[in-house]
Structure 1
Amino acid sequence: MRVTALLIAASLFAITPALAQTPAPATPATAETPSTRLAALFAQSDADNLKRNPLGLLFRGDTSRAGELGEVITDAAYAAEKRAAENELKALAAIDRATLSADEQVSYDTFKWQRETDLAGLQPALLAATAPRPVDHFFGFHNFFAELQSGESAAPFKVLKDYEDALLRSDQFTLLLDLAVLRFRQGMKTGVVQPKLVVNNVIDQLNNLTAGGVDGSIMMKPVQKFPDSISAADQARLKASYTRMVGQRVNPALIRMRDFLKVEYLPVARDGVGLSAMPGGPDLYRYLVASSTTTNLSPDEIHNIGLAEVARILKGMDEVKARVGFQGDRPAFFTHLRTDPRFKFATAQAMGDSFRAVGSRVDLVVGQMFSTLPKSPLEIKPVPPHREKTDAAGSYNSGTPDGKRPGIFYFNSYDLPSRSNYGTETLYLHEAAPGHHFQISLAQENEKLPNFQRFGGNTAYAEGWGLYAESLGPELGMFKDPYQLQGRYEDEMLRAMRLVVDTGLHSKGWGRDQAIEYMLANSSMSRTDAVAEVERYIAIPSQALAYKIGQLTISRLRAKAEAALGPKFDIKGFHAQVLMTGALPMAVLEAKIDRWIAQGGR
């Protein structure tokens, strides 16, 4: 599971993402108090970030610069990001934190962590291990851009300007593809290359994007059905322009990249899948672990936490096996869950309908646990065909704060016989309500927050909340069916195994097949899912660690608050403390909850 919109910037830059409405006006330069200086810094930082990265505006629903991709993956772009982080940290250090309010201190500490993390990732040694690998099969901008141009993502196609902006973006995209090839060539000289597995997956994706020619391109969808506001003459002109752009510029650039990867790059790509097999890889992995988890845990510590969690969850699965009366050992039970037809969806439509049914049940009771509910609507859709083979089982794409673009929960119906119906409740809770849709929407809709808290984030918080939301199932009336409870254990097991497998791959020399077999031995997940998961960890090291580490932190903080406050503990109040200041690093969140406890839960 993943949060699509929050991670787009990470696919283009080695910095913390900050996506989404127009920047707040900067506070006048005459501001004199620490509070006003802090607000001015946040506002200026956000405005400057959007100047450098105009796609952030588009994801906030602002189309004023929708024709620009911005300068990315160039030396100048990285240097600009580094200067910005250095200058903003210097300005932050000049503000007396002790004089700020409690909420301002939360903002101060979160901003400081984000910019320090950004700056660390932009140091020469780490940048040398990241910049020459600009594309992978999970966060590659080839897929991101295709979806952006499809009319089914953040870019609207409602008025003439929207169509013209898309043409401008397409022209820049072709240059970006060629620049990526230059970056790959840079890595070929230093030995900083992607694994062969990743390269082959990207080649497959590029084949999928170009297989239909011009008429079959996902980027032609907007001119296949126009809004009534576009005149017939403009429709004809635009269709011709899009045909030329896709046929003469975009598809040839995609094919150039594919041929380069296949003919020149693949032979020198590495056989080893872990970062430990790449120059600079061990240091990069330690940085990525710290960034993804927002903690100081080492890969070894995380590996051991994962082993302990796997053992605990297996006991719960054994209890389910006994409860349903299954005669056989655990491997036989897993095989039964994988293969029995009653656990399969008949159609993709039936799969989507099952998630909608869960959503209707959650809507009836979720207000009992949350004092504020999102205003943004939620849609449930299948993953687009061009990326379903390598995509997660579910994902969430955030909407806009004004609700004009809804949040979307994507479910993956690829290889339908491999998908199990006993995981519908837990997947919905994670991706939709009260998971990512709540967490992201409530932050975006809170106009009292600085923009970097409304629209930015970190993976440990976002995915930790999603996994914590799954744990609320019993309190929301879920998991009464023992097989849905098994689905809950399966999803929790997935996150626990990730701690073992990701660290195994990147710090302990594990291979792809070893990782797949470990996941199959400790869960009922299909081989299709296990392969997709392991290849994801290979492509984006450390990201998958964030889920369980974040959830363990949030769950521990709830237990601490319940024990300390006793009858004064209010679940709505706790959830408000966690959610209503946006995505926080784990240490900042813990300090906030400790302060709430000290104040008696008020």
Structure 2
Amino acid sequence: MNRNILPISILFALTLLQGCSKPEPKVIPDSEINAWFDSEYEELIQMSPLQLTTQGRKDRYGEIDDMSEEAEDRKLAWMEESVKEMESKFDYTLLSPQSKVSYDLWKYQYEMEKGDLQFRRMNYVFNQMGGVHTMIPTMLINFHKVDEASDMEALVSRIKESGRALNQLLERAKLQTESGIRPPKFAYEYVIQQSEALIQGQPFTAGKNNAPLWTDALGKIDKLEKDGKITAEQAEEFRTNTKNALLESFKPAYEALIDWLKTELPNLEEKPTGLSRHEMGNAFYAHKLKSSTTTNLTAEEIHQIGLSEVKRIQQEMLAIKDQVGFKGDLKEFFKFVNSDPQFFFPNTDEGRQAYLDESTAFLDEIKQKLPQYFGILPKADLVVKRVEAFREQDGAPQHYNQGTPDGSRPGTYYVHLSDMKAMPKSTMEGVAYHEGSPGHHMQISIAQELESVPKFRTQMGFNAYVEGWALYSEALAKEMGQYKNPYYDFGRLVNEIWRAIRLVTDTGLHAKGWTEADAIKYFSENSSIAPGAIQAEVRRYMVIPGQATGYKIGMLKIQELRKHAETELGDKFDLKAFHDVVLGGGALPLDILEKVVKEWIAEVKGS
């Protein structure tokens, strides 16, 4: 007998064992988990009528969000259950790389909201930068489209609802005050001005001028009548109903808010420091930094990065000063660029229109070059507009409002033009690229138009990623051949040092006991930004702590990842492909972005 041959019975048993062994687990298809995410996201977004409107949808069109703490509790409890379901339903090890990112993001947003809970009453309910007192009217005017009679009925309903929402927030502000948390005095002074502007003019007060919401409603009603969507009688009924809603719901809520704010003014500090003056202020600021930068950098680390970047950028500024032949030091050059008439449009309607026209021209020019640097391009249009009068502030920063995913509403680059002396020509070009393309408009529009990821990822907006990309775009525009005027290239550096100074001043205010005057002094000594803009900026940092740190931290990370990819890939590096990887998954926390880029590098290396 050949001892090397196993008996047939043993071979048969081995065969049976092999046949009964468990098959290799199958990778969960993206389509399966994406369908689950889409279903969950639909439940989540249905909790916010205003977010539905932002996306161009008309679900719950006559409603405004529940602004109460109880509503926040219900949302957080829902998110907790959703994460638990996800963890039990999907084995993370069986997901594709793209689905792992989605899984991580769904859990990440829950963890951040959960972290917010202990600091619920520390975010200032009303401030001059973006409180609901101006957000709701802005949305009703710009986002609530009226195409049919039912849309106008919904608008009237929302005007009524705005009173309820504002009253809920007023109650929350009172709870915040009872907790010992009060904003600086200037914040409420601005909010009073903004709120009073909303209830000035017809139908609230006598005179020829109309209040903003009344003007908007009349225009929408007139268009419905002109288009034959409603009769003259229906139009008159809508005017009556709108007026009643404004007078009976909207006005009383704003009057109550204004009255309360005025009673609070004597209790507010004229010259406050930042969050460190509040109980739990240091812990809250650390949380805000983590939220804004999506990193674990400490306030001190961010402060030092800012100081280092300020020094580096000033060296580049000196080079441009020498290039244009200016005789004098950098501070004298700052003064020249900040005051010489050639760098400003007239403080007239013609000058304001010129600012809008030139910004549009810069964006039209760079749009032609985008295909050379990006494979993925946005479909949505972009318009440049002046901020509405009721919320316009001298020297306040320009900003972007996203369009709808279906393109029915374009993205809008908004500019504050009430004081043209605070809007120098030199910085205009870089800001246009930041807010427009290849900055916010391009990044946000591409995200909204993505079809390969679940819907929730098309609407995410991590601060460090979004603002970091926009600041990266300002520098990228130079690579693309823009900034032909050296003074405008200097303006690009003004914009960049502005963001570096933010790292220093934001952390100075909230972690080092700086006053508003301390921050303004550092800002003034290290930049050519107009005094009015500097004050507006510093006051912004004081009421929305940490947010301003995301820009430079995000930009530095994207530049770091690009340099790493260039080094690792050598001749295989493709800038268009790199940009598509960064933009092709929507906004991401910086650590997840780094993981995605490094996986792409490994994939290219292996190809």
What TM-score do the two structures reach when normalised by structure 2? 0.90
Question: How far 1:273 moved relative to its partner?
Answer: 3.9
Specify the alignment match of 2:12 in structure 1: none
Q: 1:493 aligns with which of 490, 493, 497?
A: 497
Specify the alignment match of 2:216 in structure 1: 222
Question: How far 1:394 moved relative to its partner?
Answer: 1.5
Please say if 1:181 is aligned against 2:170: yes
- What is the rounded CA distance, in whole Å, between the counterparts of 1:232 and 1:521 in structure 2? 62
- What is the rounded CA distance, in whole Å, between the counterparts of 1:517 and 1:129 in structure 2? 27
The answer to whether the 8 Å contact 1:430/1:436 transfers is yes
Residues 178-187 or 99-108, more deviating: 178-187
Question: How far 1:270 moved relative to its partner?
Answer: 4.2
Question: How far 1:324 moved relative to its partner?
Answer: 0.7
- What is the rounded CA distance, in whole Å, between the counterparts of 2:394 and 2:149 in structure 1? 34
Residues 567-576 or 227-236, more deviating: 227-236
Specify the alignment match of 1:368 in structure 2: 372
- What is the rounded CA distance, in whole Å, between the counterparts of 1:219 and 1:498 in structure 2? 35
Specify the alignment match of 1:80 in structure 2: 74
Equivalent residue letter for 2:277: A
The answer to whether the 8 Å contact 1:157/1:222 transfers is no
- What is the rounded CA distance, in whole Å, between the counterparts of 1:205 and 1:584 in structure 2? 34
Q: 1:207 aligns with which of 192, 196, 213?
A: 196
| CA spacing shift, 1:32–1:323, aligned 2, 3 Å | closer
Question: How far 1:213 moved relative to its partner?
Answer: 4.5
Q: 2:126 aligns with which of 126, 135, 149?
A: 135
The answer to whether the 8 Å contact 1:398/1:408 transfers is yes
What does 1:17-56 correspond to in 2, within 5 Å?
A: 33=28, 35=30, 38-56=33-51
Q: 1:117 aligns with which of 92, 112, 115?
A: 112
Equivalent residue letter for 2:83: L
Q: 1:352 aligns with which of 349, 356, 361?
A: 356
- Give structure 1 stretches of 5+ with no counterpart: 1-30
Specify the alignment match of 1:426 in structure 2: 430
Please say if 1:144 is aligned against 2:139: no
Question: How far 1:184 moved relative to its partner?
Answer: 2.1
Q: 2:521 aligns with which of 505, 513, 517?
A: 517
Question: How many residues are matched?
Answer: 564
What does 1:250-399 correspond to in 2, within 5 Å?
A: 250-263=250-263, 265-271=264-270, 272-346=272-346, 347-389=351-393, 392-399=396-403
Question: How far 1:320 moved relative to its partner?
Answer: 0.9
- What is the rounded CA distance, in whole Å, between the counterparts of 2:471 and 2:231 in structure 1? 48
Please say if 1:172 is aligned against 2:161: yes
The answer to whether the 8 Å contact 2:462/2:587 transfers is yes
Question: How far 1:47 moved relative to its partner?
Answer: 1.5
- What is the rounded CA distance, in whole Å, between the counterparts of 1:448 and 1:232 in structure 2? 48
- What is the rounded CA distance, in whole Å, between the counterparts of 2:490 and 2:524 in structure 1? 15
Specify the alignment match of 2:409 in structure 1: 405
- What is the rounded CA distance, in whole Å, between the counterparts of 2:257 and 2:515 in structure 1? 27
Question: How far 1:178 moved relative to its partner?
Answer: 1.8
- What is the rounded CA distance, in whole Å, between the counterparts of 1:390 and 1:505 in structure 2? 22
- What is the rounded CA distance, in whole Å, between the counterparts of 1:441 and 1:387 in structure 2? 25
Question: How far 1:33 moved relative to its partner?
Answer: 4.5
Specify the alignment match of 1:65 in structure 2: 60
The answer to whether the 8 Å contact 2:394/2:422 transfers is no
- What is the rounded CA distance, in whole Å, between the counterparts of 2:603 and 2:28 in structure 1? 26
Residues 112-121 or 527-536, more deviating: 112-121
Specify the alignment match of 1:24 in structure 2: none
- What is the rounded CA distance, in whole Å, between the counterparts of 2:495 and 2:446 in structure 1? 25
Question: How far 1:170 moved relative to its partner?
Answer: 1.4
- What is the rounded CA distance, in whole Å, between the counterparts of 1:459 and 1:221 in structure 2? 34
Specify the alignment match of 1:93 in structure 2: 87
Specify the alignment match of 2:145 in structure 1: 156
Specify the alignment match of 1:195 in structure 2: 184
Question: How far 1:137 moved relative to its partner?
Answer: 1.3
Question: How far 1:34 moved relative to its partner?
Answer: 7.3
Residues 207-216 or 178-187, more deviating: 207-216
Residues 242-251 or 385-394, more deviating: 385-394
The answer to whether the 8 Å contact 2:395/2:422 transfers is no
- Give structure 2 stretches of 5+ with no counterpart: 1-25, 204-208
Secondary structure of the structure 2 residue equivalent to 1:381: strand
Please say if 1:551 is aligned against 2:555: yes
Specify the alignment match of 1:440 in structure 2: 444
- What is the rounded CA distance, in whole Å, between the counterparts of 2:290 and 2:377 in structure 1? 32
- What is the rounded CA distance, in whole Å, between the counterparts of 1:590 and 1:113 in structure 2? 16
Equivalent residue letter for 2:288: L
The answer to whether the 8 Å contact 1:89/1:116 transfers is no
Question: How far 1:262 moved relative to its partner?
Answer: 0.5
- What is the rounded CA distance, in whole Å, between the counterparts of 2:394 and 2:543 in structure 1? 11
Question: How far 1:392 moved relative to its partner?
Answer: 3.7
Q: 2:587 aligns with which of 573, 583, 597?
A: 583
| CA spacing shift, 1:269–1:183, aligned 2, 3 Å | farther
Question: How far 1:360 moved relative to its partner?
Answer: 2.1
Equivalent residue letter for 2:87: A
- What is the rounded CA distance, in whole Å, between the counterparts of 1:481 and 1:197 in structure 2? 38
Secondary structure of the structure 1 residue equivalent to 2:130: coil
- What is the rounded CA distance, in whole Å, between the counterparts of 2:541 and 2:421 in structure 1? 24
Specify the alignment match of 1:126 in structure 2: 119
Residues 231-240 or 531-540, more deviating: 231-240
Specify the alignment match of 2:16 in structure 1: none
- What is the rounded CA distance, in whole Å, between the counterparts of 2:398 and 2:170 in structure 1? 31
- What is the rounded CA distance, in whole Å, between the counterparts of 1:87 and 1:335 in structure 2? 57
Secondary structure of the structure 1 residue equivalent to 2:400: strand
The answer to whether the 8 Å contact 1:178/1:253 transfers is yes
- What is the rounded CA distance, in whole Å, between the counterparts of 2:233 and 2:470 in structure 1? 48
Larger Rg: 2
Secondary structure of the structure 1 residue equivalent to 2:62: coil
The answer to whether the 8 Å contact 1:223/1:235 transfers is no
| CA spacing shift, 1:32–1:368, aligned 2, 3 Å | closer
How big is each residue's C-alpha offset from its partner over 1:222-242, in whole Å with a ceiling of 9 and x where there is no partner? 333222233222221111222
Residues 375-384 or 46-55, more deviating: 46-55
- What is the rounded CA distance, in whole Å, between the counterparts of 2:178 and 2:60 in structure 1? 37
Question: How far 1:129 moved relative to its partner?
Answer: 2.5
The answer to whether the 8 Å contact 1:41/1:88 transfers is no
The answer to whether the 8 Å contact 1:85/1:118 transfers is no
Question: How far 1:37 moved relative to its partner?
Answer: 5.8
Equivalent residue letter for 1:373: L
How big is each residue's C-alpha offset from its partner over 1:502-530, in whole Å with a ceiling of 9 and x where there is no partner? 11111111111111121111111101100
- What is the rounded CA distance, in whole Å, between the counterparts of 1:381 and 1:70 in structure 2? 27
Specify the alignment match of 1:3 in structure 2: none
Secondary structure of the structure 2 residue equivalent to 1:408: strand
* Identity %, equivalent residues: 36
- What is the rounded CA distance, in whole Å, between the counterparts of 1:282 and 1:423 in structure 2? 34
Question: How far 1:319 moved relative to its partner?
Answer: 0.9
